[in-house]
Chain A
Amino acid sequence: MKHRKILVFLLLSLFIVPVAHGANDSWELDKAHSNIFFSVDHIFSKVNGHFNDFSTEVVFDPKDLSGSSFAFTIKVASIDTNMSKRDKHLKSNDFFDAGKYPAMVFTSTAVTAGDDGLYNVEGTLTVKGQSYNVTLPLVYAGMKDHPAIRGKEVAGFNGKIVIDRLAFAIGSGKFYKMGVVGKDVEVFVSLEVVRSKQ
């Protein structure tokens, strides 16, 4: 009976080991040094903003792209354009309708290598309850021992994508037709992720 239990345990550990190995490629977000910015035209000027509350799940190994993945969850209510009244307007159903759709979610389906450290992260972006296929180009800035935290290593990713906000139903287009708010939004993703040294 005892031998049988040990055998079951050993068999189960065959499944656990690869999972644990995969988990080693997962990175923890350094929230203080990661940002999701955006910039959009306003008549003649540009309005910049960012989301204060977002989380990521990053599993990345340049040698194992099939096992790599990126997931982002952005809390819409955390939008910040340095003007509280504009933020409230952006959260209204004129734009994000944050009360009904509190989060935007990106989940990668594939990571492929491009040139000069570029990785194309293909995935699904869910905005206001609708899912869209999106490719996020991320430039892998590199990986090294963390200069400030002993026993940790740090990696960085930077990317920029231009999205047509009207294609994602972020606004009905009335402000675009008036010539007030542009439809193309530049989104900048800048991530610093850490993990225990391998």
Chain B
Amino acid sequence: MDRAKRYIFILILLLTVASAAALPYVYESQTLWYKIGLDKTLLRGGQLAGMFALTLLFTQIVLAVGGPFLEKGFGLKNIMSWHRTNGVLVVLFALIHVFFILVPEGLDNLPIGIKFWPEMVGMLLLWILVVMVTSSRYRGLLRLDYRRWRTIHKPLGYLATILVVVHVLFVSDSFVHVVPRRLFIVAVVALLSRVVWVKVYAQIEKKGSTSVN
């Protein structure tokens, strides 16, 4: 395993997590301005959990796509193991996010209706994540064969990424500010580029090996 590749990836991940964790403090949402005491702590905690879930979800896509850089750095077995644990963490942070965001304004005051569409996108996303993690961890119990599970799991992963982008851009007024919005868009473009790069590279490799044979 290539130690340098491993450190580079971990460094990028830590920097991303640190930037995400700083956002609710540096670019405070207007909702936070009008929360006091425990409500404010809970709301900020919820936002932090949301940022962690977002970062881990993006990491999840990077881990799922893999590629030679990661495989050389960590080994395929470790990546898959990380991917499985990371999935559970994404759902855990997403649940904390939802719970802490909703508690200050009452669990009987759910954001339902057309004017709360970005929040409802978030709820749909949570359900998708729960389905993905549950079906992965209990695939045997649910009697899902690998092929069928993968046919469902893969597109749901991409759908979850699209939904999280929409949810983040429209639900949070922290992302109305130029710097976080641009950083987020850069992160999305980087993620997309990574996916396309790995896929294209794999195709080229495949063609190369076929023509040699």
Contacts and interface: CB of A to CB of B under 8 A. Distances in A.
A92 B106 contact: yes
B68 interface: no
Nearest to A82: B115
A180 B34 contact: yes
Contacts of A130: none
B116 A175 contact: no
Contacts, number: 34
B116 A88 contact: yes
Interface in B100-116: 104-106, 108-109, 111, 115-116
B36 interface: yes
Nearest to A96: B109
A87 B115 contact: yes
B31 A85 contact: yes
A84 B106 contact: no
A99 B31 contact: no
A99 B111 contact: no
Residue of A89, A98, A175, A178 most packed against chain B (CB within 10 A): A89
A99 B34 contact: no
A21 interface: no
B34 A100 contact: no
Given A87-B115, A88-B116, A175 B34 contact: yes
User: Closest 4 A-B residue pairs measured CB to CB?
Assistant: A99-B108, A92-B105, A84-B115, A91-B109
Interface of A: 80, 84-85, 87-89, 91-94, 97-100, 174-175, 178, 180
Given A84-B111, A89-B105, A175-B34, 18 more contacts: A85-B30, A85-B31, A85-B173, A88-B105, A88-B116, A89-B34, A91-B105, A91-B106, A92-B104, A92-B105, A92-B109, A93-B106, A99-B106, A99-B108, A100-B108, A174-B36, A178-B36, A180-B34
13 contacts: A84-B115, A84-B116, A85-B30, A85-B31, A85-B173, A88-B109, A89-B105, A91-B106, A92-B106, A99-B106, A99-B109, A100-B108, A175-B34
